[in-house]
Structure 1
């Protein structure tokens, strides 16, 4: 083989090797591109599933709250309706009294007859009693409507999402609003002890943190008997606001406490818990650059500790 033939053979061999490498690279690139597309699809599905699970947990918490809220709203509405019905029946009697006067006013010589009819009608409808009773009924009705109005306003405050931007707000105010709403559900199983100290504002989304606190309050209620105590404490430690949510309920075993933030883990009976409340709460606290931990003792109770950074750290 001549030198020229050897060079030609080497060139052809190198060209084939390069073409093979290019084809392999093209195949790998195409495969990589398809894998990226598949991963993007999987990520999109996971995000959708996550959003659905979060919404499911929100609806579960809302469903638990709704039972207590419906009871609280139903009572004032029931007696307000009864009062208004009673007033509507008796107001017509006063219209009759007024009609007696109006009909007889033009008849100047008929005063005695008019007074007789008037006194007779007053006695028949027991006007003296109605005059003393109606103001009380109206006051009770107004109070009932005010109670419903306050409940609705509290719900609006804790459910208002606003925009996605973080804002500075008082964690104490956030806790108080959540207590107002949760109290309708938990007041039958426990008393509430607030120990809120003067703390600086935190930076975050009140709507999301409302979900965390309501979930913790509801869990505490479910863990307690009819004489439970829920103690909520806030304090400031250096650059953080610390929140303790403590109950004297049945507690959590050492084995289960390791799984408490795992998705779908729940100690509640089937159908009564999604197992997502605490994992979602954990994620919300992490999004706020904070931490959430738990300590518990069976038969003694459970304490959640949340640490959130101050919106404006103190100047040393």
Structure 2
């Protein structure tokens, strides 16, 4: 009788232990699932916070850029017009000098003082310097004009988001556009063939990838590798296309990543970049209700992720 009681007690204890282990396993699994969910939520909150901060920053910068572009555009316009007129005037003066020097029948009383004055003025040296100065002036004005055009792109809202666009085709067009910058790079493309079409502005979407490919090419020292891929992607229940542009370049620190979309921020040497390409890219992605992210580490390379939602056809478009 005692042995039977012990056996029953043992069975009850064993069943209780197994139930406790089962409950512990379930609780552990539930806790793990909650941790994963919290990590995803935290990641999404950080992404949203970054996008909000960038959007607020860009809103202020866009207003400033629009004002600066407008204020600079007018003086640059009349400066270029004046420089063009001045260049014509100077050419006429030099033509007049050539004409006088070619007149062998002029009396010495005229040619003598003229040659003397040319010598005093170092006219030949002055002529060469003037031509160089005018060329430098044109180069400088063209650069300012390019900067103004880039500033306008920062504030550019793009065309009507009403076209059916194939992102694969947009990327192919951008690859053709920057082919000269990719000659010494290994370019690998992995496109999903039956990719969802999106509603957008084809020119703006192509420009996005032109900027990203140019940035990737500049990031690669000497020869490098650039990979471009597209595939269907769901973001918070929203269907779209995720495009990745990866490079084997120098990579970026966290400090650089935080500033990389700021207008005029560049890690390139002075004179080799205005620092507006990625600002324009960020602006155009947002105009398409998408987002852009960066994964990068120094010495490893960078990956730009661009998500463009499928979107809805405009009301004015006929149903298919």
Q: In which range does the TM-score fall when normalised by the shorter chain?
A: 0.3 to 0.5
Could you state the TM-score of these two structures normalised by the residue count of structure 2? 0.47
The structure whose Rg is larger is 1
Could you state the TM-score of these two structures normalised by the residue count of structure 1? 0.48
